[in-house]
């Protein structure tokens, strides 16, 4: 959640990062936390991928770059997750590693990707990001975000 708790509501250190995903009927609720906004966004992508694929030990076969124009933090979170879903649906690409960096006028994201056939599927891939309950922001122990994706 936004603020000073992370994994399952336990107190966390400001330099910790992580994520979790909780399945609920036809959707998955994702929470992520990190010291910076950029790392928090990367953790959110990792959480979304983990809700449908096991990418541990998978070597990337390509690199994709995304440039997101400056927008509100909520818009950046939604746009990044939407872009990941688009690449999954259109090109069959699954991020196995994510790096996000603040850039003048926006956000630069590097996605190390593998083909959908190269990962072990553990569930149905999400189809969309919902705006209800979407939030990202700083708190006393770093950045955190929450978002729900439909399955």
| Mean pLDDT over each residue of the chain, to the nearest integer | 89
Model-wide pTM > 0.85: yes
Q: How sure is the predictor about 68, in pLDDT bands with cuts at 50, 70 and 90?
A: very high
Q: Residue 12: what pLDDT?
A: 58
Helices (H), 10-72: 37-50
Q: Is residue 145 within 8 Å of residue 40, measured between CB atoms?
A: yes
The stretch 131-147 carries a mean pLDDT of 93
Q: Residue 14: what pLDDT?
A: 59
Task: Provide, rounded to the nearest whole percent, the portion of the chain with pLDDT above 70.
Answer: 90
């Amino acid at each position: 959640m936004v603020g000073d708790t992370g994994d399952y509501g336990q107190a966390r250190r400001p330099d910790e990062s992580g994520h979790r995903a909780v399945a609920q009927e036809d959707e998955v609720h994702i929470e992520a936390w990190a010291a910076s906004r950029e790392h928090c966004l990367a953790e959110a992508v990792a959480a979304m991928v983990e809700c449908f694929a096991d990418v541990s030990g998978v070597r990337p076969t390509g690199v994709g770059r995304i440039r997101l124009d400056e927008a509100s933090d909520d818009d950046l979170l939604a746009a990044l997750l939407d872009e990941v879903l688009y690449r999954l649906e259109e090109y069959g690409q699954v991020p196995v590693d994510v790096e996000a960096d603040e850039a003048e006028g926006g956000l630069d994201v590097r996605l190390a990707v593998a083909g959908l056939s190269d990962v072990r599927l553990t569930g149905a891939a999400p189809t969309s990001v919902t705006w209800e309950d979407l939030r990202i922001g700083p708190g006393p122990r770093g950045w955190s975000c929450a978002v729900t994706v439909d399955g």
